[in-house]
Each structure stands twice: as structure tokens, then as C-alpha cells.
Structure 1
């Protein structure tokens, strides 16, 4: 999990080059419940290039969510307007916008979201909406499987013939144990159990109580129930990573369980889509995205090892999509790439 940042304008390296009038611009947005990432890119005239090779004019990161299902339409509207204004300083003609957002799982959801977007951006000719897992996959591979583990977690995959499948992504109340929120919740539970004498003591108690400036584990109960928002709880996850690295058996066990859960989600998607082929030996990509997988690299490596026990040729892909060291906008690159792809399909048809 990442330390909270303030709004971040990002230089794409091309801002000083004025666009030619005939060049079109697309906007890719990764719209979370707690943060928004946006990139402004030139629509390629000829061949569709990989996401990280798009000519990016600039980008923007902020700690405000733009998912209306999470923060409400008014706040989401304000965040989107601000993000697009600040990431698209050189926009002369915005041809298309693609938004990746959670909670969009069928045609009805997509239709509602597109209608809402059209009221905010009536001048953008084409609007595309996908589940956030779809744009995350696109940031690293056109087909295959993506594993997202940040505040929440989900595995999603698609094939060249249009089939798709997902696993997990149901929120911490229904068992997203490999997510930042899930890991943090397990840590709090371990502390409280140790405090009761039900399980061995753990260094997690000292680390988390110090972070929250609490004097006793008893304080954790009120803290959890006074505001059970996922992002608030998930910010404890880095403490679990550091305590596990220091050798704490309880913390290591929590992360081992997270690996098992995440790997099971990937394998479920791979099996549903037969990405490994009939013999399980076909090559396929597993794209890794999210704060947990960025912060605790060994988790992703262990997930791959677990998956490879069943599918030898699974291959990890880490999207090469950073505009700066401070702001990770990988899924927003995927959203921009999908906008380019859809515009190309329109032209061909």
C-alpha cells in the first residue's frame, strides 16, 4: 500500500510539443473510490502501439475518488472535471474518453455510467466505460489474466474470442482476504486474539498501536467500528509487511494466507477460460497491479510460484506505465489504450 499523496500533476515529456490540428486526443481514467488517475494521450494514426508506448501529453493523480457508486455523483463530478482539466493541458480535440471503474459488471451498469458521463462531458464524442479490472489488464496485456490487490482485490481474465471470467472482488465482508483491507483486518484480529490469550503474541500489536497512537489493543475495537471504510483499514497493511519481514510468524502467516487466496483467484480464472490450454502448458500473461503487489513484491512472486505449480508457463507482466516515480497510473494507461483500440475499431467499421 502506498503512503497518501497530495494531488500530483505529471509531466509526460511531450507537453512542449504542440499538437497538430489533425491529431486527436484520448483520455484514460482509472476511477477508484479513493483516488483518481488520468492520462492524456495522442490517438495513434496508424498501428496501435502498446500502452507504455503511447505518446502521453500529461497525467494527473489525486486522492479523491471519482466512482459515483462510492463517493456520490456530485463529488465524483468535481473530481473528474478537475482531473481532466489538469491532465489535458495541451488538449486541442478530445476524441474519446475511457473510464475504468468498479461496480460496472453488465450492460445496464455501463449504460447508466455512460449517461452520467455524457452530462459532465457533452463535447466528448465517444465515451467508453469498463470495469476497472478490464483497464488494469489492458495496461499490461491485451488478453490473459490480471490480478489486482490494493484496498480490495480481484482476478479477471479475457480471451481473444471475447470470453471473460472473474474471481473474488466481492469486498472484505465477503472474503477478499488477499487485499490490503483483508490483510489489515486479519492483523487486527490476530492482535485482539493474542490480547485475549487465544493465540501467541505478535509484534503486530506494537507496530499497529504505535501507528494509531493507541495504548491498548482494546482501542482497536472502537476504531474499527467507528468507521469501517476499506481504505482506512487498509492503511495498516504496510505494518504487516514490515513486521513479517522482521520475522514475526503471525504476520508471515497472514501474508502466506493472502498469497494462497490471491493465487486461488488467478487459478480459478485461468481454469474457467482454459488460458493454459488443454494440457495446462500454454503461455499466458498474469498482469500484477495494485498497492499490495507494488509494496510487497514478494507476494506477487509467491503468487506466481503457486500458480506455476498448476500452469508452468504462466508469465508475470508488470505494466511499464509510470509517468513519474511518485504517481503510479498504470491502469489509466490501460484505459487510454482501450480508448485508442475502440476508436480504431470504429474507423475500420
Structure 2
């Protein structure tokens, strides 16, 4: 897949156009500090009435690198997200004209401002540059009104148009959530009610009540804590995270240090879950995912 910064990631849509009557699709993306997965499914799936088919009817699946903007930076995260969505559509023999909804479940989306920033990026690329262009050329625009010579201003505007790209048309429904929200919904048939625990490269406990209240614990990263994550006490998180299988194997073999690491990690994870459950009064409901 070609690089996002060269604006070539969607070139396949011109090379292999899809007919107008092609089936509508939905994109679902799960992104974190270890990997990013995007699946493309049909928008015409029937109701499963509480029973999800196994295997689930996925049209295509694409995998890419990191997409947590707190870990790799915003530019790299955006590039990964756009590339993996394009690859999923390419594998499915589809393109953006057939997309009806997109859901991004991303680690690092911790505040409404994070959601809005990503939604703005999905709707318009280079919107800030667009604003700067017109502000910087405002004097020139008024001069053209006086002189009647529009050629210079129009040439600049036409050259700028290719950089104003809607990744998805306005009609496409866009959803951006923390990856814990998708993790909970995947275990409750789509209902946001209960508590979920993610313990991977990072860790977070997230909970929802039926009336819409929510709470979270951990998930702040290694600087502020997040002690249950697999980076443990070493800041070299990518290197340390890869050691988790070896730690588990050593613990199963009776290694004392490995068992102490797992024991301490479990205590921290349990404390996170308890904090969320108690805050939302979910005790005794048996809805831990």
C-alpha cells in the first residue's frame, strides 16, 4: 500500500472502479499501540437475534502498525488508519463510494476533543491549510475585484483544490470511540452496559450503566501510572511488551520473578476493575467482559 503523504493511498479506486450498484459496506477499525486491524463487512447483514455466526461474514481484513496518536504521533497514526482502511476496501473489491458507515475504536481517544479532531480529519484533509490560504490571499482577492483580473487568484485556488480531500462523503456515518468501548460491545451483543478490561501493551478498565453513566480507570500511560500494562517498569515499551509470552511461560514453569510480575500485574488490573464497578454500582450484576 502506498504512502498517505504522497496522496496515493486511494489510487486503486481509479485503477479498479466499482459499479454504482455495488453492495454497500461498513468499515470497523480497532487500533492501538501494538497493531491496527480494519474489517470490511456488508451493510446488509441480517439481525443475528443474540447469536453471532462463527465465522463472522467478513468481506476483507487488513492489518497495519500503530495508530495510538499518544504513542506514535498524530501524523503517523493518521497515515496508518487511512492506509489500513484503503487496504481493507481494496481486498474486498470495494471502494469509498460503497461505504455507508465507519467506526474507529482507537486507543488514545480519551476526551471529546480527541474524537472531534479525528472526525474533522475524516471529513476534511488540510482544512487548516485551506483557511490559511484564503486568509493569506485576502488582500490579493480584493485587488482582483478592483482590477477585474481574476486569473492569478483562480490559478492558485485551482491548484489548491486537490489538497481539499474528503476521505469520506458527508453522507457516511462516522463514529470514533475509545477501543474499550468496542471491546465491551463485542462481548455484550452491542449493548453498552457492563465493565470491560483491556490488558495489552496498555491497560484500561471501562464501564457503562444502562442509563448512560460511564467510568474508567487506568489507561493514562506509563508516565501517570498504568501499572497493569505489559511495559511494566521499563520505558522501552515496545521491547518489553514483546516479552510477555516469555514471562507467562516462565511463570508456568515455576520461575519466582516471573510469577511475582504476573501477581503484581493481576492485582493492579483487579484494582482497576473494582474501581469502575464500585463507581457505577455494578456490583453483583455479573457483566464483566
TM normalised by structure 2 equals 0.68
Residues 1:24 and 2:24 are matched in the alignment: yes
Worse-matched range after superposition: 100-109 or 266-275: 100-109
Residues 1:255 and 2:257 are matched in the alignment: no
Counterpart-to-counterpart distance in 1, 2:212 and 2:33:
28
Counterpart-to-counterpart distance in 2, 1:19 and 1:274:
52
Aligned residue for 2:168? 122
1:137/1:146 contact within 8 Å kept: yes
Aligned residue for 1:200? none
Aligned residue for 1:268? 275
What is the CA distance between 1:99 and its match in structure 2? 0.6
Report which of the two structures shows the higher radius of gyration computed on alpha carbons. 2
What is the CA distance between 1:162 and its match in structure 2? 0.7
2:33/2:201 contact within 8 Å kept: no
Query: What are the within-5 Å matches in structure 2 for residues 184-263 of structure 1?
Result: 185=233, 228-263=235-270
Aligned residue for 1:135? 182
Aligned residue for 2:75? 74
Aligned residue for 1:148? 198
1:147/1:155 contact within 8 Å kept: yes
Counterpart-to-counterpart distance in 2, 1:77 and 1:167:
26
What is the CA distance between 1:20 and its match in structure 2? 10
What is the CA distance between 1:263 and its match in structure 2? 1.1
- Deviation track 1:132-176 (CA, whole Å, cap 9, x = no partner) reads 111111121222111100011111011221111111112223332
Aligned residue for 1:221? none
- Deviation track 1:58-91 (CA, whole Å, cap 9, x = no partner) reads 11122x1123343234333332232112212233
What is the CA distance between 1:25 and its match in structure 2? 1.2
Counterpart-to-counterpart distance in 2, 1:36 and 1:45:
24
Counterpart-to-counterpart distance in 2, 1:235 and 1:60:
22
TM normalised by structure 1 equals 0.57
Worse-matched range after superposition: 136-145 or 85-94: 85-94
Aligned residue for 2:94? 91
- Mark the runs of 5 or more structure 2 residues left unpaired by the alignment: 1-17, 126-166
- Could you say what secondary structure the match of 1:114 adopts? helix
Counterpart-to-counterpart distance in 2, 1:95 and 1:51:
24
1:51/1:139 contact within 8 Å kept: no
What is the CA distance between 1:57 and its match in structure 2? 0.8
Counterpart-to-counterpart distance in 2, 1:58 and 1:274:
40
- Mark the runs of 5 or more structure 1 residues left unpaired by the alignment: 1-17, 186-223, 288-349
Equivalent pairs counted in the alignment come to 221
